[in-house]
Homo-oligomer: A and B are copies of this chain.
Amino acid sequence: QVEPLLFEIGRYETTGVDIDEPEAFAPRLGGMERTGEIGLPGLSEPEAMRHYVRLSQKNYGIDSGLFPLGSCTMKHNPRLNERMARLPGFGDVHPLQPVSTVQGALELMQELARYLMTLTGTQAVALSPKAGAHGELAGMMAIKAAIEAKGEGASRRTVLVPDSAHGTNPATAALIGFQVKAVPAREDGWVHVEDVKAALGPDVAAIMLTNPNTCGLFEPQIVEIARALHDAGGYFYCDGANFNAIVGKARPGDLGIDAMHINLHKTFSTPHGGGGPGAGPVVLSERLAPFAPVPFVRQGASGLELVEHADEAGEAQPFGRVTAFHGQMGMYVRALSYMLSHGSDGMRRASEDAVLNANYIRAGLADLMSQPFGDKPCMHEVLFDDTWLKDTGVTTLDFAKAMIDEGYHPMTVYFPLVVHGAMLIEPTESESKASLDLFIATLRDLAMAAKAGDRDRFVGAPYHAPRRRLDETRAARSPVLRWTPPAPVQEAAE
Binding site for B on A (CB under 8 A): 1, 9, 18, 44-47, 49-50, 53-54, 57, 62-65, 75-76, 78-79, 341, 407, 430-432, 434-435
State the CA gap A394–B430 with chains docked (Å). 49
Contact of A65 among B1, B78, B430 (CB under 8 A): B1
State the CA gap A78–B65 with chains docked (Å). 29
Quote the shortest CB–CB distance from A361 to chain B (angstroms): 17
**What residues on B are CB-neighbors of A75 within 8 Å?**
46
Query: Do B78 and A50 touch (CB < 8 A)?
Result: no
Quote the shortest CB–CB distance from A45 to chain B (angstroms): 7
A49 with B65, Cβ < 8 A, contacts A44-B432, A432-B44, A434-B9 known = no
Q: List 13 A-B contacts (CB under 8 A).
A: A1-B65, A1-B407, A9-B434, A18-B341, A44-B432, A45-B76, A47-B432, A47-B435, A49-B63, A50-B62, A53-B64, A54-B64, A57-B64
**What residues on B are CB-neighbors of A65 within 8 Å?**
1, 50, 54
State the CA gap A175–B64 with chains docked (Å). 46
Quote the shortest CB–CB distance from A227 to chain B (angstroms): 40
Query: Do A430 and B78 touch (CB < 8 A)?
Result: no
Query: Do B64 and A76 touch (CB < 8 A)?
Result: no
State the CA gap A103–B361 with chains docked (Å). 59
Query: Do B46 and A76 touch (CB < 8 A)?
Result: yes
**What residues on B are CB-neighbors of A431 within 8 Å?**
46
**What residues on B are CB-neighbors of A45 within 8 Å?**
76, 78
Quote the shortest CB–CB distance from A339 to chain B (angstroms): 14
Interface centre among A44, A45, A50, by most chain B C-beta atoms within 10 angstroms, is A50
State the CA gap A45–B79 with chains docked (Å). 10
**What residues on B are CB-neighbors of A53 within 8 Å?**
63-64
Contact of A46 among B18, B64, B430 (CB under 8 A): B430
**What residues on B are CB-neighbors of A50 within 8 Å?**
62-65
Identify 8 new A-B residue pairs, CB closer than 8 A, beyond the known A1-B65, A45-B78. Answer: A9-B432, A9-B434, A18-B341, A46-B75, A47-B435, A50-B64, A54-B65, A57-B64
State the CA gap A376–B63 with chains docked (Å). 49
Quote the shortest CB–CB distance from A11 to chain B (angstroms): 9
**What residues on B are CB-neighbors of A9 within 8 Å?**
432, 434
**What residues on B are CB-neighbors of A435 within 8 Å?**
47
**What residues on B are CB-neighbors of A49 within 8 Å?**
63, 76, 79
State the CA gap A18–B343 with chains docked (Å). 12
State the CA gap A56–B142 with chains docked (Å). 48
Quote the shortest CB–CB distance from A483 to chain B (angstroms): 17
Q: Of all chain B residues, which has the CB nearest A435?
A: B47
State the CA gap A341–B431 with chains docked (Å). 44
State the CA gap A57–B59 with chains docked (Å). 12
Quote the shortest CB–CB distance from A20 to chain B (angstroms): 11
Quote the shortest CB–CB distance from A305 to chain B (angstroms): 32
State the CA gap A366–B1 with chains docked (Å). 26
Quote the shortest CB–CB distance from A338 to chain B (angstroms): 12
Quote the shortest CB–CB distance from A35 to chain B (angstroms): 29
**What residues on B are CB-neighbors of A1 within 8 Å?**
65, 407
State the CA gap A1–B464 with chains docked (Å). 11
State the CA gap A410–B430 with chains docked (Å). 39
Quote the shortest CB–CB distance from A40 to chain B (angstroms): 18
